[in-house]
Amino acid sequence: MRQQPERTERMEDKAVMAQTQLPDGVGLEATPKVRRVVVIGNYLPRQCGIATFTTDLCEALGREFPEAECIALPVNDIPGGYSYPERVRFALEQDDLNSYSAAADFLNISNVDLVCLQHEYGIFGGPAGSHILALLRELRMPLVTTLHTVLREPDPNQRSVLEEIIHLSDRLVVMTERGAEFLRSIYGAPASKIDIIPHGIPDVPFVDPNFYKDQFGLEGKKVLLTFGLLSPNKGIEHVIEALPAVLKKHPDVMYVIVGATHPHVHRREGESYRLSLQRLARALGVDRHVSFHSRFVSLDELTQFLGAADIYITPYLNPAQIVSGTLAYAVGAGKAVISTPYWHAEELLSDGRGVLAPFRDPAALAQRIIELLDDEVLRHSMRKRAYLYARRMTWPKVARSYMRSFVRACEDRLRTPRPAFIAATLADRPAELPEWNPDHLLRLTDSTGVLQHAVFTIPNYSEGYTTDDNARAAILAVLAEQSGLSVPGAERYLSFLWHAFHVENRRFRNYMGYDRRWLEACGSEDSHARALWALGTVIGRSSDEGARGLAGRLFDMALPVATAFTSPRAWAFTILGCQEYLRRFAGDRAAQTARDALADKLLGLFRANSAPDWVWFEDVVAYCNARLPQALLAVGAAGREDCLEAGLRSLRWLVEIQRSEQDHFVPVGSNGFYRRGGEKARFDQQPVEAGDMVSACLLAHRVDPDPYWLQAARRAFEWFLGRNDLRLPLYDPGTGGCRDGLHPDRANQNQGAEATLAFLMALLEMRQSANLIQPVYGAHLVS
């Protein structure tokens, strides 16, 4: 159950669900931590609204949740990209489809907990921005998508792309009620996965416009303002056309237009739109009342321009605009706003927070402007309503809402895992068992023994060695010998056990540093018992007389203390060790007595806790679960009917609670386990549970020749090969190693000793039982 570096606890350690502490009541009990988020979307210094939004969101998340790392993944629309800040770790090339797949690979190996996509059709390559699907299809972690455009009448390509994004996303974020309604009614998105989070805004004070006017030479003027990247769909010409009528009533009006020409428009048309506006102003004789600030302004400058405005105007021409960041900023600054009735404006300016004017209607615009300038009380009451309403939109609150959505996405993925889109399925694989390949085990083994952890496939020296893993490796070496195979250097594992035994206290130490210094004087009961199991296996099965002699001497010294252990798993491991020992020395009374005493304890525990709906030894199904019934089955095979009956009952119950509706193996997850009366943890899924189940079910079939047990063994083994919740293989045939487990969204890419040994032992046991299993196994695979 050890995964490193994400998880390094020992199997006997109690795994608990991580707690995410979020401000203002955001935290949910027993929720997974979101430690690393990647936000995909344009990023400053690229000049566009999505870039500004993505940058602001990342910065807000970073401020509100400093313990979480927020990484940006922007899209380049020009060769060479932009001079991004350190937060950017990887960039997409807009029209290069290969870069999208490369980005997915980068994210999948980077321990990313969640991806947040900022979606706008135009920023990604392909028809309707379809290139982004190549990335999203390959992601293994939860996905939360913010939709900046939701079309009421999409073309076929737009509909297809958005419907797939909806399917691939765990949560969907829209900024308006109308957006949520469109998702439900037009695209069929489930209401349960939609979150409405408003466009974020800077938290600025409510100020008198006169406070800032002198900074721009606007003292004594009534200031109208429009800001944002300029393009022909902004409708600014209609405000200019309205100015003659406004100036007749209010000759002190100045219309300020802030913003550079949109980069894409500039590449196609240069400054033709801005020049056309300037020509129009001159033709109408209002050029002295129109001021252009033709640059992309910083947030501080923008705050000052907004502060100086008496009225903010968005005369946009597209009624289908469902989000406007500039409008959100103006409302958040407490401005009196006049807008055309595009979708976002209709919603945000309702209830007296602004006024609307028809599209392309300069006369109506002039009338609204004059009304607000004439009625100071109306204008200021509108400002106050807007400002108070917008406090819910400030970036700190928006960041907390996003984190709520992130946490919920991770929780949903825990409850309902999602299979990988690209994975080898059973139908793709031949019926044969994988070939024996101990290469990765040998890579993890040095002159001391087997190292417990790896970083990806590379041994991790800093984590050192354990008696647990060297005991497993010793058992594996004997099983390999029995199969006519070999594990070169296997004597090192037995040597490690000899060195691990502390003669004075008659206990095995467990943890050893890479410097060969023991980190404890006495290891856990489980590690001691697992060492006994390994020693018994060497004695009972090995053909190496020297190995048997050492193992026998050590077994005699280490067995007596085990009868006083209190760990049920230590009882089980010791029972299995004694039973292996008794294969060679059936008349040894000490081993028989120890086995029977511990079997009585285990059986008593089962009888004390078992019920019709909970056929188990404890009030929790925790780790190395199948070894408990396996130990009783081992004693039952030696003639104890009471142990045999309890072992079969408990193992059958365990098989069924770890069987999905799709008939694949789902081990109880280490993030919470399964407590009586509680919810069964689905993740993280550990290889040791699958390996233990294989071994227990094969033993069950030997004592009870029911095909049910062969099917259960096969089901557990196929978990390693990709027949699991994510349809991802844990076994890596290229290295011979096994990945450390299944997270809700991906396989842990580290290949440590526990996982690799669990797979190799299960493989050998399956090979030894192939004459029993192969007909069932093969028939299933080709069906």
DSSP letter for each residue of 226-282: EES-B-GGG-HHHHHHHHHHHHHH-TTEEEEEE-PBPHHHHHHHTTHHHHHHHHHHH
Which residues of the chain register pLDDT less than 50? 1-31, 422-431, 772-783
Q: What pLDDT score was predicted for residue 299? A: 82
Distances 82 to 47, 74, 92 between C-alpha atoms, Å: 10, 10, 12
Q: What DSSP line would sit under 708-737, residue for residue?
A: HHHHHHHHHHHHHHT-STT----EETTTTE
Distances 639 to 100, 227, 579, 632, 702 between C-alpha atoms, Å: 62, 87, 12, 11, 13
Question: Is-contact 446 465, C-beta < 8 A?
Answer: no
Q: What pLDDT score was predicted for residue 420? A: 66
Q: What pLDDT score was predicted for residue 427? A: 34
Residue 684 DSSP code = S
Q: For residue range 567-590, what is the model confidence (pLDDT) as tens digits?
A: 999 999 999 999 999 999 999 999
Strands, E assignment, 183-221: 194-196
Q: What pLDDT score was predicted for residue 296? A: 83
Distances 13 to 1, 5, 253, 405, 630 between C-alpha atoms, Å: 9, 16, 73, 31, 21
Q: What is the pTM of this model?
A: 0.71
Tally DSSP H helices, then E strands, for the chain. Answer: 28, 26
Distance between CA 305 and CA 643 in Å, rounded?
A: 82
